[in-house]
Amino acid sequence: MQADAFGSLSKKIIIIGTIIMLLGVAFLNWLILNTSAITTAVLVSLVWVIAVMMIVITSYLDELSQELKGIYTEQTEEVRMMRAEMNLFRYDFNRLFSAPIKNTAAVKKKKRR
């Protein structure tokens, strides 16, 4: 995973999420000052697992978003090409069927003479 593949929204989510998790750890430590170190360590590790999972999920969704943008761009280009081909077909059919139609009555008169 490349760091430059992240979009700006994902960067904001990761930064804000990390700050919130750090504040959560600080708040939990302040809240449970009188409890044992093991309980504090378990709660802190739980908060950090949540933070890491949030970062991993965000980066995965960002990669998925980048992939979908690429697919959309590719499909848009294919649609443009198909429209161009259809315009060429329409031009060819217009030339084919827009030939002047001869007056059949005038043709019959010429044949009689």
Tell me the C-alpha distance between 107 and 100, whole Å: 14
* Interacting residues of 17 by C-beta distance below 8 A, sequence separation 6+: 51, 54, 55, 58
Tell me the C-alpha distance between 17 and 56, whole Å: 12
pLDDT band of residue 97 (cuts 50, 70, 90) is low
Tell me the C-alpha distance between 61 and 6, whole Å: 10
Q: What is the mean pLDDT of residues 95-100?
A: 61
Average pLDDT of the chain is 72
Q: How many CA atoms lie within 13 A of 79 on its CB side?
A: 6
pLDDT at 1: 44
Tens-digit pLDDT profile for residues 18-66: 787 777 777 777 777 766 767 777 777 787 788 778 777 877 887 788 8
User: Which residue ranges make up each domain of the chain?
Assistant: 3-112
Torsion over CA: 3, 62, 7, 80 (sign): positive
